[in-house]
Amino acid sequence: MMTDLVEESLARRGYRAEALISLIRLRWFINLRWIMILCSWLCVTVEQLLNPAVSRPAGLTWVLVALTTVNVLWTGVSVGLRRYIARVGEGDHRALRAAVTWANAQIAVDLLLLTAILRYTGGVENPMAIFYLFHMAIASLLLRAWQAILQGAWAFALYAGMGVGELYGVLRPHYEFLPSRSGFGLYAESAYVWAAAIVVGCGIFGTLYFTLRIASRLDERERVLRATNQALRQSQEVLQELQRRKAQFMRTAAHQLKSPLAVIQTQVGLIRDGLVPKESLDLYYDKVIRRCREAIDQVTDLLTFARLQEADPQRRSGSAADAGKVLGDLCERFAPLALAKGLQLVREIAAEQDLMVPVEPLDLADAMGNLIDNAIKYTPAPGTVRVTATRPADEVCLTVEDTGLGMPVETQQEMFDAYRRGRLALEAGITGSGLGLSIVRAVVEQSGGTIVVRSRPGEGSRFTIRIPGLGTQSDEGLSQKPFNVVRIE
């Protein structure tokens, strides 16, 4: 849950949060401010050397000292903040909140100190007011829109307050931009002061507008890239899972086919060499026929499984099967087998309900046929195999329930893997390819459904397949094949 929140927070904040974290880690704000402080001290020193008669006000020196002190403070805060982010993790929402607060505080203080520098170096006559725009560009690219607008309002209020304060004598005295030359007294001209305030204000909010528009475009592009990247990662995981299954399938298929063929080869060789007594020939012929039948069953299940694995998912968009009719036909087919074994095959199909599902009829018959066949195989006489089909709400529920051997918990966890057969089945000597439940899972995956299994040793098993009814799920939803569709009760 926390991982999902972190991903959601990163996706919502986007590159702004990541950029802030990177700037904190690289101390970009701190280093840039040191450069500006060094340049300011250097300019004051050079001006004093070139023109000793020029005297800057003491207030400017104190502002530069304050700027230096504040940057030392920010340096210490930055060290602590980097440690905090490293402790909680860069993607944690607490780290993002701390980074945003830290950036807002720095920009706000920088704007205040910039205004103080302008105050002691010409006020509204100082062209260095352009540095307000620099801060606005940073704010709009790194902060949220409403935070950047607040910073812009703060900058405009500071500049306008400085100009109006000097205009009406609230701030005294006025300091010239170039002390060696007499000024033009523009700071005392109301038309100029208000014009300067309006121009700077337009520059501030104009910069915010354009940079925020650019930032919103970047946000949108990043959201698209994140979504694409996530889709690619999911596709890669699906492909890796398919490759794993394919490799496992090939290994187990070769092993399973090798066993009956080796037995057939051995028995036919004994017959050819005359090592089998005549009275035992029929028995050996029966063994060869039985092994051939087992191999044919293996090949049949292999071909079915391969067909389902290689099927184009898009073909399901036009697939439709009447689950009631498919189950009815299957029950008719398996009725003689159940009767011969002394079992009662009960079918309960809601004929009055719409049982249409978005599955190929052959695929549905393969899946449900395997479940019915297994139920008959693993149920000793006298017993019951019950087949039901209903449609509660938007799902079609197909259930095969028996009173047979059941399965222990450890068997249920892996029973849908290819060639995986339960211990009880092997001990009972029941033949099978081990692919039946794999075929069932493949069909259910491709239909966007789920399998619910309930089984207890000695109490029988119940398999319930839930498939969205035809028309209740979009083709896009059906094309998403979940691999974990099984739930064990």
Q: Which strand (E) or helix (H) includes residue 156?
A: helix 145-167
Whether 63 shows a pLDDT value over 60: the answer reads: yes
Residue-wise pLDDT tens digits, 215-226: 788 778 878 887
Q: What is the mean pLDDT of residues 200-209?
A: 93
Q: What integer pLDDT is reported at residue 316 of this predicted model?
A: 55
Q: What is the mean pLDDT of residues 161-187?
A: 86
Q: What is the mean pLDDT of residues 276-295?
A: 79
Whether 341 shows a pLDDT value over 50: the answer reads: yes
Alpha carbon of residue 215 to chain centroid = 24
CATH 3.30.565.10 boundaries in the chain: 315-488
Q: What integer pLDDT is reported at residue 481 of this predicted model?
A: 45
Q: What is the mean pLDDT of residues 130-136?
A: 90
Q: What is the mean pLDDT of residues 199-203?
A: 94
Q: Is residue 422 helix, strand or coil? A: coil
Q: Which strand (E) or helix (H) includes residue 463?
A: strand 460-468
Q: How many CB atoms lie within 10 A of CB 444?
A: 25
Closest to 142 in 3D by CA, of 36, 24, 225? 24
Which tokens hold the place of 103? 């950036």
Closest to 444 in 3D by CA, of 464, 424, 419? 464
Which tokens hold the place of 486? 């099984």
Residues listed for the chain: 489
Q: What integer pLDDT is reported at residue 1 of this predicted model?
A: 34
| DSSP assignments along 101-132, one per residue | HHHHHHHHHHHHHHHHHHHTTTGGG-GGGGHH
Residue-wise pLDDT tens digits, 109-130: 999 999 999 999 889 999 889 9
Q: What integer pLDDT is reported at residue 249 of this predicted model?
A: 66
Q: What is the mean pLDDT of residues 373-389?
A: 89
Residue-wise pLDDT tens digits, 417-437: 665 555 555 454 455 556 778
Q: Higher-confidence residue: 11 or 168?
A: 168
Closest to 103 in 3D by CA, of 65, 145, 74, 124? 74
The topology under which CATH files domain 315-488 is Heat Shock Protein 90 (3.30.565)
**Gap between the Cα atoms of 187 and 123, Å rounded:** 7
Closest to 93 in 3D by CA, of 21, 22, 148? 21
Distance in Å from the first CA to the final CA of the chain: 24
Q: Higher-confidence residue: 485 or 240?
A: 240
Q: What integer pLDDT is reported at residue 255 of this predicted model?
A: 66
Mean pLDDT (the chain, rounded): 80
Q: What integer pLDDT is reported at residue 476 of this predicted model?
A: 43
Closest to 152 in 3D by CA, of 79, 223, 208? 208
**Gap between the Cα atoms of 88 and 421, Å rounded:** 47
Cα-based angle 341, 342, 346 (whole degrees, multiple of 5): 105
Q: What is the mean pLDDT of residues 30-34?
A: 85
52-66, 75-89, 307-321, range with greatest mean pLDDT: 52-66
Whether 132 shows a pLDDT value over 90: the answer reads: yes
